């Protein structure tokens, strides 16, 4: 009796050791070439290294593929390298931004940031004095009021687009799109001309929130619309088949099913406006004291504090600006990650 | 059997139920409320137009077409401190040109990078890397603009100044790269780069979306005919997604046109027409509004409102264009 030899399945699409060696050699050759060329020519700096490495890599990779597999594959290899360079250029700034903010903002962090405001300090004082309390509470109030205004309007728009699908669906889709393109400074000017000059005649947090809601509504509306479109039609049909009216079907079946998605939409809306600066500069007045009343008096906020500290321009104030940006960045990151987690949980269900 | 049942119950047939398609009262209220909410975007946009036009009307009428064709911005006061309407001039041509210059640089830099990045994410990246990268790019779209501004000022500027000098050194014979006097910091070039970084995530995510809708059968047909990945992309994906990419670029352009704080931080705002992209002087309408707002008198504020109106209409127009292009997207391919 002969035992059949167990044939190991071959994987012809996988790179052979020889091919791996070759591509590793291409990398090494490109790195060495870039060092060599930068050393012997007057070019210098990180840009020169990156550029020469990229050029050398393309040349070597092209040559290798040309000799081993022919011209079309070599052309494909060039395209692969260029596309990879594209994603590197696109992602590099974000890494640089995050690294910069952490490195520069780290020095300005201290526990007093969350317990003190700047009522008794100016931004040029030593970094350990004063804090961000007024800015944090201010931003929280601004965002909260903007949420109260824009979430109902945004979700109603989304429900119109997905549940009612009325005559004005296309124009409204365009208008929401156009609204998301309104420059933030124009939103600020509008509130200035429509509310501040004729009615309130002074700075307050509330008018700032009004401007922020203009920027927030489109984000909430578009994200909610996407979420509601994901709700399977079976649910709506089941609701109607059970004798529910349109209103009950939407309110008791569709919206609860999309709950976590709608929360995601709100979070993304908050992330959109938390750092919005231009309308805040025009409208809120930016006080240095904790102000819990959105309707009266100037209200501080993180963007305003960053702007003010940056404009003063002393080393202390710039450290303060970076510390505040670090706090703002952490807030945006937390909001963004929680929105992601929520929507992931939804899609895995 | 049912016959028997029917005949047995014949005497007591209830009145025929009315079948109606008329919505109930609650549904009518529901529809009215939702439609009202949905019209909020129309109302808000209409109000923005109305109030800015209302405030800026007097300036627009006294300046006429010169408001967008002349570059003089001076408020002349008589001895009593009143604004002299005869000699006061408001013209935003310099800032409009600056706006277009910065946005154009941003588009030129951002579109190729974004398209390549979108291609990488859709057709080259392994799934895990793709997931991370998509999250990173989306996160970048949520960053506040002041962050880009400060990063541009403190981190990008020194590098960009060096790149600008390189450009000037090798391409200085082209008129737009002329720099005189040699001030390389805070130029429209740097502002354009910062704007490019800001709009790359937008264009990337729109392009990625469009590319991912390429019909799978066409992709597989191209591979079956022996195409390499690149020739597949050129023959199928790019023709299919072209108009979507243009639409994404216009969305990015809309954002770049209206950007205020980031431009204000990196750009040296000088009120003059400047075509030399590497020279440290320029401006854009949005940042000019912010700059002049602080010390503006009542008449000047009205002029700023009019400038805001121009900016609003401009972004509206660009968005309309983007909408039309994206809606047409999904071409035939080869």
Instruction: Give the CATH number for residue A157.
Output: 1.10.3720.10
Q: Are the Cβ atoms of A80 and B163 closer than 8 angstroms?
A: no
3-state secondary structure (DSSP) of residue A285: strand
Residue A177 near chain B (CB below 8 Å): yes
Q: Interface pTM (ipTM) of the complex?
A: 0.88
Structural domain including A140 reads 133-348
pTM of structure? 0.88
**Same domain as B291, residue B171:** yes
pLDDT given at position A347: 58
Q: Which residues of B touch A78 (CB under 8 A)?
A: 230
Facing residue for B113 by CB, picked from A89, A153, A303:
A89
Question: Domain range holding B223?
Answer: 93-327
Residues B188 and B54 grouped into a single domain = no
Which residues in chain A are contacts of B140 at CB distance < 8 A? Answer: 93-94
Q: How many domains does chain B have?
A: 2
Q: A125 in a domain, yes or no?
A: no
Q: How far is it, in rounded angstroms, from Cα B147 to Cα A162?
A: 35
**How many helices (H) and strands (E) in chain A?**
14, 0
Residue B334 lies in a domain: no
Cβ atoms of residues A238 and A123 within 8 Å = no
Task: Decide if A186 touches B, using CB distance below 8 A.
Answer: yes
Question: Of B29, B34, B135, which has the smallest distance from its Cβ to A160's Cβ?
Answer: B34
Task: Give yes or no: residues A264 and A194 share one domain.
Answer: yes
User: Do A210 and A294 sit in the same domain of this protein?
Assistant: yes
Q: How far is CA A313 from CA A321, B267, B330, in A?
A: 10, 16, 50
Same domain, yes or no: B53 and B136: no
Mark whether B37 and B178 lie in a shared domain. Answer: no
Q: Nearest CA to CA, how far is B104 from chain A (Å)?
A: 17
- Residue B185 domain-assigned? yes
Whether B36 sits inside 8 A of A75 (CB atoms) is no
pLDDT in tens, chain B (334 residues): 455 555 555 567 788 877 777 888 888 999 999 999 999 989 999 999 999 999 888 888 888 888 888 888 877 777 666 666 667 788 888 889 999 999 999 999 999 999 999 999 999 999 999 999 998 888 888 888 899 999 999 999 888 888 888 888 888 788 778 777 777 888 889 999 999 999 999 999 989 988 998 999 999 999 999 999 999 999 999 988 888 899 889 989 988 998 889 999 998 888 888 788 888 788 888 998 988 887 778 888 888 999 999 999 999 999 888 888 877 654 444 4
Are residue B273 and residue B321 in the same domain, yes or no? yes
Q: Are residues B42 and B133 both part of a single domain?
A: no
Cα–Cα distance measured from residue A16 to residue A23, given in angstroms and rounded to the nearest whole number: 11
What are A267-286's pLDDT values in tens digits?
989 988 988 999 999 888 87
Question: Do the Cβ atoms of B24 and A245 come within 8 Å?
Answer: yes
- Alpha-carbon distance B163 to B185, whole Å? 11
Rounded Cα gap, residues A104 and A302, in angstroms: 17
Q: What CATH number should be reported for the domain holding residue B123?
A: 1.10.3720.10
Domain total of chain A: 2
> Is residue B291 in some structural domain?
yes
Give the phi and the psi of residue A66 in degrees, each rounded to 5: -65, -45
The first and second tokens of residue B98, run together, are 């600056």
Q: Same structural domain for residues B303 and B194?
A: yes
Nearest to B315 among A160, A182, A190 (CB): A182
Spatial separation of the C-alpha atoms in residues A213 and A138, rounded to whole Å = 15
Residue A87 forms contact with B (CB below 8 Å)? yes
Q: Is residue A5 a part of any domain in this protein? A: no
- Cα atoms found within 13 Å of the Cα of residue B41, Cβ hemisphere only: 34
B114 vs A90, A166, A321: nearest CB: A90
Lookup result for tokens 């109930």:
B24
CA A173 to mean position of chain CA atoms: 22
Asked whether residue A118 is assigned to any structural domain, the reply reads: no
- Distance separating alpha carbons of residues B113 and B201, to the nearest angstrom: 10
Surface-to-core class of residue B136, CB atoms within 10 Å of its CB (0-12 exposed, 13-18 middle, 19+ buried): middle
Same domain (yes/no): B123, B222: yes
d(CA B140, CA B151): 13
SS3 A14: coil
Query: Closest Cα of chain A to B203: distance in Å?
Result: 11
**Cross-chain residue pair B55–A186, CB shorter than 8 Å:** no
Helix axes B298-327, A184-191, angle to 10 degrees: 130
- If we measure between CA atoms, which residue out of A77, A130, A101, A339 comes closest to residue A220? A339
Q: Would you say residue A280 lies in a domain?
A: yes
């Amino acid at each position: 009796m002969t035992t059949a030899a167990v044939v190991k399945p071959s994987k012809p699409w996988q790179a052979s050791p020889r091919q791996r060696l070759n591509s590793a050699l291409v990398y090494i050759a490109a790195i060495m070439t870039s060092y060599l060329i930068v050393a012997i020519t007057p070019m210098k700096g990180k840009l020169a290294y990156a550029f020469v490495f990229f050029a050398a890599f393309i040349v070597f990779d092209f040559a290798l593929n040309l000799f081993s597999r022919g011209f079309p594959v070599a052309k494909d290899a060039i395209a692969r390298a260029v596309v990879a360079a594209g994603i590197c250029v696109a992602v590099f700034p974000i890494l640089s931004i995050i690294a910069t903010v952490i490195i520069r903002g780290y020095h300005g962090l201290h526990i007093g940031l969350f317990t003190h405001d700047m009522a008794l300090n100016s931004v040029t004082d030593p970094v350990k004095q004063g804090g961000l309390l007024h800015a944090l509470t201010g931003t929280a109030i601004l965002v909260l009021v903007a949420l109260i205004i824009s979430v109902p309007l945004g979700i109603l728009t989304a429900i119109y687009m997905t549940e009612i699908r009325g005559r004005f669906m296309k124009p409204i889709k365009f208008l929401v799109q156009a609204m998301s393109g309104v420059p933030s400074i124009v939103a600020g000017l509008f509130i200035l001309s429509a509310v501040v000059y004729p009615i309130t005649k002074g700075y307050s947090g509330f008018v700032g929130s009004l401007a922020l809601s203009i920027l927030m509504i489109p984000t909430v509306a578009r994200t909610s619309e996407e979420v509601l479109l994901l709700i399977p039609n079976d649910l709506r049909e089941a609701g109607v088949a059970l004798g529910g009216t349109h209103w009950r079907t939407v309110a008791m079946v569709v919206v609860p099913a999309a709950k976590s998605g709608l929360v995601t939409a709100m979070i993304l809306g908050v992330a959109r406006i938390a750092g919005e600066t231009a309308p805040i500069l025009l409208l809120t007045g930016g006080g240095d004291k904790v102000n819990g009343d959105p309707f009266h008096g100037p209200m501080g906020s993180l963007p305003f504090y960053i702007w003010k500290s940056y404009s003063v321009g002393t080393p202390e104030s710039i450290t303060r600006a970076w510390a505040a940006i670090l706090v703002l960045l952490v807030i945006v990151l937390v909001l963004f990650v929680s929105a992601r987690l929520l929507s992931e949980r939804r899609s895995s269900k | 059997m049912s016959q028997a049942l029917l005949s047995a119950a014949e005497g007591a047939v209830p009145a025929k139920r009315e079948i109606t398609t008329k919505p109930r009262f609650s549904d009518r209220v529901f529809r009215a409320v939702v439609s009202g909410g949905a019209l909020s975007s129309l109302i808000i946009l209409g109000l923005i137009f109305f109030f800015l036009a209302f405030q800026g009307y007097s300036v627009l009428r006294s300046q006429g077409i010169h408001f967008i064709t002349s570059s003089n911005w001076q408020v002349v006061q008589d001895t009593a401190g009143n604004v002299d309407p005869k000699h006061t001039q408001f013209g935003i041509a310099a800032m409009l040109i600056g706006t277009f210059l910065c946005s154009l640089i941003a588009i030129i830099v951002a579109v190729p990078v974004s398209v390549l990045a979108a291609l990488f994410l859709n057709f080259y990246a392994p799934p895990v890397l793709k997931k991370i990268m998509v999250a990173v790019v989306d996160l970048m779209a949520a960053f506040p603009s002041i962050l880009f501004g400060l990063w541009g000022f403190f981190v990008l500027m020194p590098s960009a100044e060096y790149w600008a000098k390189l450009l000037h050194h090798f391409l200085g014979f082209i008129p737009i790269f002329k720099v005189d006097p040699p001030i390389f910091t805070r130029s429209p070039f740097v502002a354009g780069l910062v704007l490019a970084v800001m709009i790359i995530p937008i264009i990337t995510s729109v392009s990625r979306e469009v590319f991912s809708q390429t019909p799978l059968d066409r992709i597989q047909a191209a591979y079956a005919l022996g195409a390499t990945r690149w020739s597949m992309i050129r023959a199928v994906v790019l023709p299919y997604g072209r108009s979507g990419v243009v639409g994404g670029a216009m969305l990015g352009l809309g954002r770049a046109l209206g950007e205020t704080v980031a431009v204000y931080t990196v750009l040296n705002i000088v009120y003059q027409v400047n075509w030399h992209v590497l020279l440290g002087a320029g401006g854009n309408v949005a940042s000019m509004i912010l700059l002049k707002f602080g010390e503006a008198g009542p008449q000047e504020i009205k002029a700023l409102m009019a400038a805001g109106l121009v900016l609003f209409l401009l972004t509206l127009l660009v968005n309309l264009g983007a909408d039309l292009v994206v809606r047409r997207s999904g071409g035939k391919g080869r």
